[in-house]
Amino acid sequence: MCFDRPYLIRGTVKFLAGVVILVLFLFTTPGVSYAEMDTEDAGKTGVILPAVDTPAKPEDAGFWDKTWDYLVNGASITAGTGLRQAEMTVTRKSDKASGKIAQRNDQAYFLTYSTRPSFIGKSNFGYTFMLNYSHFNMDKQEIAKDVYQDIGTKVRGNFAYVVPTLYYQWGEHRYRGKFVRLGVGLGLGVTTYSGNIILSDTSTVEVSNKAYALTVAQSAFLEARYRHWGVIFSVAGPTVQNDTYKIQVSDISLNLGYSFYF
């Protein structure tokens, strides 16, 4: 979640309601989670009691209990600051004329929620869910390759997504350990926007979407973490298509954050 200005959180309630629905639809039974051992407490006791494994019966835990366990136990909230850039690329299907408009290099504050990390067996491959809500106010249009300028066009909007993300981890198999992760994901998102943009054939077109319809959302991230502190670079966003245009919304961010674990 990213806040650029206090007043830019209109529509949050609707987005969060949609996000909750997405989480419930995407909920799956987690894999192996690696918990940290409390070595200090272990060293203080003179007697080591044997562990007793009590098989859990599936009927003992209901759907809501499993959902609560997965969404809370071992999950984390990360607060931080960094840079973000929101982009929208509009492509007309009939002739492939396209245009890109962006909100560039803004300092922003981040608040991100992640489910607990789960690994596939004893491998270094794991998965989690990425959840994000963001507002954008794009007013810099690309006039040449990587050259942006305010030429009077503007697009405003919001988007949110929940993306199951598969990653590979180098380092400790602990959610508060020292590690580097590289991940990609594919999930669902919603986006609303309105404004105008100039395409490559110099035509000015109006773009607007007021519906909270679910669309495909993609994500990719690179994270380096030392216990609670971490740096993460991420690219994510939904794609909207209609009979005339294909519209890709991307949120690119680089931030330093501190994670609070449940």
Q: Decide if 76 contacts 254 (C-beta within 8 A).
A: no
Question: By CB neighbour count within 10 A (0-12 exposed, 13-18 middle, 19+ buried), where does 196 fall?
Answer: middle
Q: Which two tokens stand for residue 148?
A: 């942006």
Q: Decide if 219 contacts 236 (C-beta within 8 A).
A: yes
Give the Cα separation of 168 and 97 in Å (integer): 37
Tokens 């954008």 -> residue: 136
Residue 60 is predicted with a pLDDT of 60
Task: Count other Cβ atoms within 10 Å, centred on residue 170.
Answer: 11
Give the Cα separation of 118 and 128 in Å (integer): 7
Residue 129 is predicted with a pLDDT of 78
Give the Cα separation of 91 and 97 in Å (integer): 6
By C-alpha distance, which of 5, 45, 76, 48 is closest to 225?
76
Start-to-end Cα distance in the chain: 18
pLDDT averaged over 10-residue windows placed end to end, the chain, 262 residues: 44 48 44 40 40 49 78 83 91 94 83 79 86 85 92 92 90 80 92 94 91 86 91 88 89 90 82
By C-alpha distance, which of 254, 218, 233, 251 is closest to 180?
233
Q: Which two tokens stand for residue 187?
A: 């999930």
| Residue 63 Cα distances to 55, 130, 148, 199, 262, angstroms | 18, 21, 49, 49, 20
Give the Cα separation of 190 and 249 in Å (integer): 10
Sequence letter at residue 161: Y
Tokens 């067996």 -> residue: 121
Residue 175 is predicted with a pLDDT of 64
Give the Cα separation of 235 and 108 in Å (integer): 15
Domains of the chain: 2-24+62-261 (2.40.160.20)
Q: What is the maximum alpha-carbon separation in the chain? A: 79
Residue 100 is predicted with a pLDDT of 95
